[in-house]
């Protein structure tokens, strides 16, 4: 396949380094990791393979910055900085979107579309710079005491993010760190670090002081593990798989660091017989396929009420055939490749298991060989799935939906909640009380009614059950970068 003609940002070429204490430095070991464009399978760059030594240096820089001049910045200064970051990042967004597309495959349609969301998220965190308010509650102490309660920044924050959307994921760490006066060390995924590194450059350009934001690239088992074990990291935000989360929880015991975990999902998207199918069919389909299914909130179990089951399956099958898969640099592409060969193999294995366990393959299921060596897969629909099948229980993280029939509200909720996850859910109905009762009944942190996947940073989202804990977005998120402190002042 001919690669679409598009200007490749100059930033892509040449080996990349860590950002530590405002300096671009090689990995202490000198090792590098090849960066592969998942749409072509070609090596397009290299990143530094960081390890415990690099993490040590970055955490020490973050600690020095936390205790230095940065700790005296006023909320107004931090707000001005965040607004400057906003302007610099938005001015360079076309380049950032292209880097993200080349690095992790998401189509330009999606990565360009993140500009407005990025503007919102940065403006939201800028608005939160004075969230560390103090109060003077009355006390019942004998004598003459003034009691003060205030909130202080937790200190050095670690971040470990996955490859499925670094342009989104990094702000959940950098935003609140800059808003509250914390400092950060971020370890992006080895498969998608380039947009993070370019943003780190832009942060420096915008005036973020040395050591406040540090980026160490590398493998999870080395750099990621070292960061989660580090005794001088006060809080760690992790997004990724349940298995890695277990190792992070264990590693955090070194110093009982505060954790925020956003993990996988197997979210139910429930379509009632009275739903507007003109909206529900594309809405539920793209609720799974978006970002080639590599989305934590993917509504990968589509529950459909029996009276419309056959019609729904036929219509979603037809819709699925219209979805355009290809190189993300082509502005018409709706779905790009999966991130790498391992993920493609994993998703294809699930598709095989779905067939073996008796689900009916309506459409899709094949690797798109005619698109070249990239990791392209057809969006895939299974009908007649049951909630006990592997494809309905495990997070596939690919464009694969299982359509499961149900009878009534009670049945829908029983199936929806029969999962170890609790990240998100959807309801499609014209009936207000059905919408309300079902959204109340789904055991998950985020529910969408007659839509799927929208997100306002000032409202936020979060997980329940094995999908993790800790709200992302809204005031709660910012407050989790602070710790409460009481001061007892004897006035006598």
Active site residues: 262, 296
CB closer to ligand TAP out of 66 and 163: 163
**Is residue 221 part of the contact set for ligand TAP (CB under 6 A)?**
yes
| Cβ 338 to ligand TAP shortest distance, Å | 9
CA dist 460 and 260 (Å) reads 14
**Is residue 334 part of the contact set for ligand TAP (CB under 6 A)?**
no
Among 213, 248, 335, 403, binds ligand TAP (CB under 6 A): 248
- Which pair of structure tokens corresponds to residue 458? 């000032």
Total of residues contacting ligand TAP (CB under 6 A)? 26
CB closer to ligand TAP out of 34 and 276: 34
**Is residue 228 part of the contact set for ligand TAP (CB under 6 A)?**
yes
Question: Scanning residues 163 to 182, which ones bind ligand TAP (CB under 6 A)?
Answer: 163-164
**Is residue 290 part of the contact set for ligand TAP (CB under 6 A)?**
no
Q: Which residue stretch of 18-26, 69-77, 110-118, 238-246 sits at the interface with ligand TAP (rule: CB under 6 A)? A: 238-246
| Cβ 29 to ligand TAP shortest distance, Å | 15
Identify the sign of the CA torsion 233, 235, 240, 246: positive
**Is residue 160 part of the contact set for ligand TAP (CB under 6 A)?**
yes
| Cβ 118 to ligand TAP shortest distance, Å | 18
Among 54, 100, 103, 190, binds ligand TAP (CB under 6 A): 190
CB closer to ligand TAP out of 231 and 440: 231
Nearest to 400 by CA among 268, 288, 290: 288
The H helix count followed by the E strand count for the chain is 16, 21
Question: Scanning residues 295 to 324, which ones bind ligand TAP (CB under 6 A)?
Answer: 296
**Is residue 162 part of the contact set for ligand TAP (CB under 6 A)?**
yes
- The answer to whether the CB of 195 falls within 8 A of the CB of 167 is yes
**Is residue 224 part of the contact set for ligand TAP (CB under 6 A)?**
yes
Q: Coil, strand, or helix at residue 476? A: helix
Among 24, 93, 219, 483, binds ligand TAP (CB under 6 A): 219
CB closer to ligand TAP out of 190 and 327: 190
CB closer to ligand TAP out of 179 and 400: 400
| Pairing assessment for the beta strands 156-160 and 235-239 based on DSSP bridges | parallel
DSSP string, 391-448: HHHS---SSEEEEEEE-SHHHHHHHHH-SSEESEEEEE-S-HHHHHHHHHHS-SSEEE
CB closer to ligand TAP out of 111 and 164: 164
What is the phi/psi pair of residue 210, to 5°? -55, 135
**Is residue 457 part of the contact set for ligand TAP (CB under 6 A)?**
no
Whole-Å CA distances, 431 to 222, 309, 313, 470: 51, 18, 22, 32
CB closer to ligand TAP out of 153 and 224: 224
- Which pair of structure tokens corresponds to residue 420? 């170890």
CA dist 226 and 443 (Å) reads 34
CB closer to ligand TAP out of 31 and 315: 31
Q: At what angle do helices 75-91 and 171-180 cross, to 10 degrees?
A: 150
Question: Scanning residues 48 to 67, which ones bind ligand TAP (CB under 6 A)?
Answer: none
Please state whether 285 falls in left (phi above 0), alpha (psi between -120 and 50) or beta.
alpha
CA dist 301 and 162 (Å) reads 22
Q: Coil, strand, or helix at residue 299? A: coil
**Is residue 100 part of the contact set for ligand TAP (CB under 6 A)?**
no
Q: Coil, strand, or helix at residue 452? A: coil
**Is residue 446 part of the contact set for ligand TAP (CB under 6 A)?**
no
**Is residue 117 part of the contact set for ligand TAP (CB under 6 A)?**
no
Exposed / middle / buried, residue 320 (Cβ in 10 Å: 0-12, 13-18, 19+): buried
- Which pair of structure tokens corresponds to residue 230? 């580090």
Among 247, 417, 437, 458, binds ligand TAP (CB under 6 A): 247
**Is residue 125 part of the contact set for ligand TAP (CB under 6 A)?**
no
CA dist 445 and 297 (Å) reads 10
**Is residue 127 part of the contact set for ligand TAP (CB under 6 A)?**
no
Q: Which residue stretch of 95-103, 233-241, 299-307, 308-316 sits at the interface with ligand TAP (rule: CB under 6 A)? A: 233-241
Please state whether 431 falls in left (phi above 0), alpha (psi between -120 and 50) or beta.
beta
CA dist 427 and 447 (Å) reads 8
**Is residue 395 part of the contact set for ligand TAP (CB under 6 A)?**
yes
CB closer to ligand TAP out of 326 and 463: 463
**Is residue 264 part of the contact set for ligand TAP (CB under 6 A)?**
yes
Residues that bind ligand TAP (CB under 6 A): 160-164, 187, 189-191, 219-221, 224-225, 228, 239-241, 244, 247-248, 263-264, 296, 395, 397
């Amino acid at each position: 396949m001919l690669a679409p003609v598009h200007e490749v940002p100059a930033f892509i070429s040449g080996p990349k380094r860590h950002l530590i204490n405002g300096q671009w430095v090689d990995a202490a070991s000198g090792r590098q990791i090849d960066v592969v464009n998942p749409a072509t399978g070609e090596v397009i760059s290299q990143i530094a393979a960081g390890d415990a030594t690099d993490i040590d240096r970055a955490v020490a820089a973050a600690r020095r910055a936390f205790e230095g001049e940065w700790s005296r910045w006023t909320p107004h200064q931090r707000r001005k900085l965040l607004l400057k970051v906003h302007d610099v990042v938005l001015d360079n967004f076309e380049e950032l979107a292209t880097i993200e597309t080349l690095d992790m495959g998401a189509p330009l349609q999606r990565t360009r579309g993140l500009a407005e969301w990025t503007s919102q998220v940065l403006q939201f965190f800028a608005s939160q710079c004075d969230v560390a308010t103090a109060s003077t509650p009355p006390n019942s102490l004998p004598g003459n005491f003034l009691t003060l309660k205030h909130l202080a920044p937790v200190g050095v924050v670690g971040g470990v993010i996955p490859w499925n959307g670094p342009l989104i994921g990094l702000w959940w760490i950098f935003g609140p760190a800059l808003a509250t006066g914390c400092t950060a060390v971020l370890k992006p995924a080895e498969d998608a670090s380039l947009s993070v590194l370019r943003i780190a450059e832009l942060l420096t350009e915008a005036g973020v002081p040395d050591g406040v934001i540090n980026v160490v690239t590398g493998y999870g088992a080395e750099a990621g593990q070292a960061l989660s074990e580090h005794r001088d990291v006060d809080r760690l935000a992790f997004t990724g798989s349940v298995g890695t989360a277990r190792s992070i929880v264990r590693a955090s015991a070194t110093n009982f660091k505060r954790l925020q975990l956003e993990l996988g999902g197997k979210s139910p998207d429930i379509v009632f017989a009275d739903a507007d199918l003109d909206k529900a069919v594309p809405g539920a389909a793209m609720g799974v396929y978006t970002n080639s299914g590599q989305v934590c909130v993917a509504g990968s179990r589509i529950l459909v009420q029996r009276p419309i089951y056959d019609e729904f399956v036929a219509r979603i099958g037809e819709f699925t055939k219209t979805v355009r898969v290809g190189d993300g640099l082509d502005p018409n592409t709706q779905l790009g490749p999966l991130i790498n060969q391992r993920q493609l193999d994993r998703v294809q294995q699930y598709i095989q298991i779905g067939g073996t366990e008796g689900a009916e393959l309506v459409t899709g299921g094949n690797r798109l060989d005619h698109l070249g060596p990239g990791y392209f897969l057809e969006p895939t629909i299974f009908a007649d799935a049951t909630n006990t099948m592997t494809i309905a229980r495990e997070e596939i993280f690919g464009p694969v939906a299982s359509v499961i029939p149900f009878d009534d509200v009670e049945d829908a909720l029983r199936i929806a909640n029969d999962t170890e996850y609790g990240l998100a859910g959807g309801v499609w109905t014209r009936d207000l009380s059905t919408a309300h009762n079902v959204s109340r009944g789904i055991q998950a942190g985020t529910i969408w009614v007659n839509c799927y996947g929208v997100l306002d940073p000032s409202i936020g989202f979060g997980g329940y059950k094995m999908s993790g804990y800790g709200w992302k977005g809204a005031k709660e998120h910012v407050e989790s970068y602070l710790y409460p402190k009481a001061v007892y002042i004897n006035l006598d």
